[in-house]
Chain A
Amino acid sequence: MDLDALLDCVTSSSCLVTQTTSGLIVGMLLFMVAAGLTLIFGVLKIVNFAHGTFYMLGAYIAYSTFAFTGSYILGVLAGGLGMAIFGVIFERVLISRVYGANVLMQLLICYAVVLICDDLVKIIWGPDFYAMGMPPEFQVPPLFIAGGVVPPFYIMLIVVALVIGGGLGLSLGLTKIGKIIRAAAHNPNMVSALGINTTLLYSLVFAVGGMLAGLAGGLAAPVRSLTPGMGFSILIESFIVTVIGGMGSIGGALIAAVVLGLIRSFGTIGFPLFTEGLMYIAMIIILVTKPSGLFGKEIV
């Protein structure tokens, strides 16, 4: 416990700005992963334990594309597209066989995919840490806001995540396909009876969820080190985000992700060893007092 350091930080504008921006980028990456997780759960009632793997693979694909083409934007897009395709294959080949099965069976299948992908990454890219480094586009002097150092890359990351999240939220709310997806989350049999191809819809949901996680991986690649196990820590945190925000709620995921990101960045100053403990306490309190999460619909 080092509450003095925390107090010092909160009262100094430079530290406040630095910690807030680093909290925000953690939160935004978490949000993109958790948004896919919550979307998949909302529509398919599947808890995708392999979602962290999508994030990891997205990061590795972005890394290799960047190394090959020299274009960071292409790298991120390749990560997103690759994981959209991977998501569809994963849903069609494996998950579609366990719809309605016990959650433990789903867990086991996802666990198997996590194990296989972690080892495949080791085989293809090797077990070492990779650092992508800052892409040349962003090798520019940092901005100084109220004495705090803010790399332009961070601002880009936050804006891009907000645009993607906002776009997803708006398209779910305003477009016809968004309406169909929400209807399928509510009553898949009825949607199917109305002549809508739910099989296609389910694949689409997995494609979108996979794409979000892949994009997040690509966006994270310059600021995170790439390791075969990197999917797991983000998975646990996106579970916390999903539960706190309300399973199935995109807006809830955004707010919970930002809060968690800030707890993480300020927590490392005040109580470095117990930051995770705090997050689990938050998760338990929410689950006990309002299991549907802050913004989820009441469960029956």
Chain B
Amino acid sequence: MNRIVRDIAIGVLVVAVLAAVPHLIPSKAFQDFVIRCSSMALFATSLNLLVGYTGLSSFGHGLFFGLGTYSFALLMQKTGISLPVAFIATLLITTVTAIAVGAICIRLRLIYFAFVTLAMQMLMHSVIISWVGLTGGDQGLQGGIPRRVVAGIDLGNQYNLYIFAAVVLVIGLLMMRHIVNTSFGTSLRMIRDNETRAAFLGIVVWRVKLTVFVLSAVFASVGGIVMSLFVSGAYPELINWPISGDAIFAIVMGGVGSFLGPTVGTMILLLLNDVVTRQTEYYGLALGIIILAFALGLRRGLLDFITERLGGRPAGGIS
């Protein structure tokens, strides 16, 4: 119980600090950064529920991120429902899709799981590209998102969206933190470490895997909704393969063994993106060299590396 109280206190503190920052340093770029960070960090942390905690290497998690952006943007544009209703409806759509996709994917293991998830994502990408009438195809869903109001607060205002994104991120992280600290989270780690043993101890492996698959999809979808609000629509790039690549990048760079690893990794990724693209047009070259330095130098994520250096034991690993 103490841990929950402490985590919530930290969360409230973070939101309070973030809410104060724009009054001291009025920087639009900083607010943009936090909004993008919130979206991607939710997405990356949700992927880590699969990769780091359950040992399921998904290459297609962007399916649910993209599904979140498209479902939410479409619901807001094509129907008259309010933002909170569209939010819940998007999560329901994601849940149903994730049950269907997950039921197929979790039958496979290791690299085959990775490939089937990638194929699922790319199939959804193809559907979106070819269903021009509904999704706008290549051009993406344009025309903005109407009625961006939650409890009388207009999210069209950037400061409001910034606070909204920070609150959603903190609540999402707290929920995921709670999930991995329950006995369900222990089952996940047991499956990761030894699936057969977990089965012998009475864990219904497929049910646990499917549950975590659906849960992680829902949190990825929340990240997608934040992104949809930020970009005012939905675009095919948000469901294409590199979006999954970014999340994998973030969790491996930040550290799969630490709960906040993916969040740290996301910040590294976005910072690199912003700083390097300002300095040079050869973003890929710089990023590639930095990745190699991390991967071959530290051989683990940044937060895992720090935890080990401080003498702690990281909660998991991908070795």
Contacts and interface: CB of A to CB of B under 8 A. Distances in A.
Interface of A: 47, 94, 97-98, 101-105, 107-109, 111-116, 118-120, 122-123, 236, 239-240, 243, 247, 271, 273-274, 276-277, 280-281, 283-284, 287-288, 291, 299
B295 A112 contact: yes
Contacts of A105: 252, 295, 299, 318
B129 A111 contact: no
Given A243-B115, A288-B108, A291-B108, 4 more contacts: A111-B249, A277-B123, A287-B112, A287-B116
A85 B290 CA distance: 24
B296 A104 contact: no
A283 B318 contact: no
Given A104-B51, A280-B119, A109 B292 contact: yes
5 contacts: A103-B110, A104-B57, A105-B299, A115-B291, A288-B107
Contact of B284 (A115, A276, A288): A115
A102 to B, nearest CB: 4
B96 interface: no
B284 A119 contact: yes
Interface string B239-272: 0010001001101100010000000000000000
Closest 10 CB pairs of A and B: A277-B126, A273-B130, A115-B284, A116-B288, A115-B288, A119-B285, A112-B291, A102-B318, A280-B123, A112-B288
B282 A287 contact: no
A291 B285 CA distance: 36
A284 B108 CA distance: 11
Contacts of A103: 57, 110-111, 114
Nearest to A300: B109
A274 B251 CA distance: 32
Contacts of A120: 285
A13 B310 CA distance: 73
A103 B248 CA distance: 11
A2 B57 CA distance: 38
A158 to B, nearest CB: 28
A281 B123 CA distance: 7
Interface band, chain B = 35 or more
Interface in B272-318: 282-285, 287-289, 291-292, 295-296, 299, 318
Contact of B296 (A97, A115, A123, A277): A97
Nearest to B59: A107
* Residue among B110, B115, B249, B296 facing the most chain A CB atoms (10 A cut-off): B115
A81 to B, nearest CB: 25
Interface in B130-165: 130, 132, 137
B57 A102 contact: yes
Contacts of A273: 126, 129-130, 132, 137
B34 to A, nearest CB: 26
B127 interface: yes
Nearest to B123: A280
A4 B119 CA distance: 29
A239 B288 contact: no
Contact of A108 (B59, B104, B130, B249): B249
A113 B318 contact: no
Contacts of B57: 102-104
B2 interface: no
B112 A94 contact: no
Contacts of A236: 122, 241
Looking at B108, B116, B318, the one whose CB has the most chain A CB atoms below 10 A away is: B116
A94 B116 contact: no
B234 interface: no
Contacts of B245: 111
Contacts of B296: 94, 97, 109
B284 A118 contact: yes
B122 A280 contact: yes
B182 interface: no
Contacts of A97: 296
A149 B15 CA distance: 67
B319 A102 contact: yes
Contacts of A276: 122, 126
A119 B112 CA distance: 31
B166 interface: no
Nearest to A102: B318
B41 to A, nearest CB: 18
A97 B252 CA distance: 16
B212 interface: no
Contacts of B132: 273
Contacts of A288: 104, 107-108, 116
A109 B299 CA distance: 11
Contacts of B289: 112, 116
B97 to A, nearest CB: 14
Contact of B130 (A94, A274, A284): A274
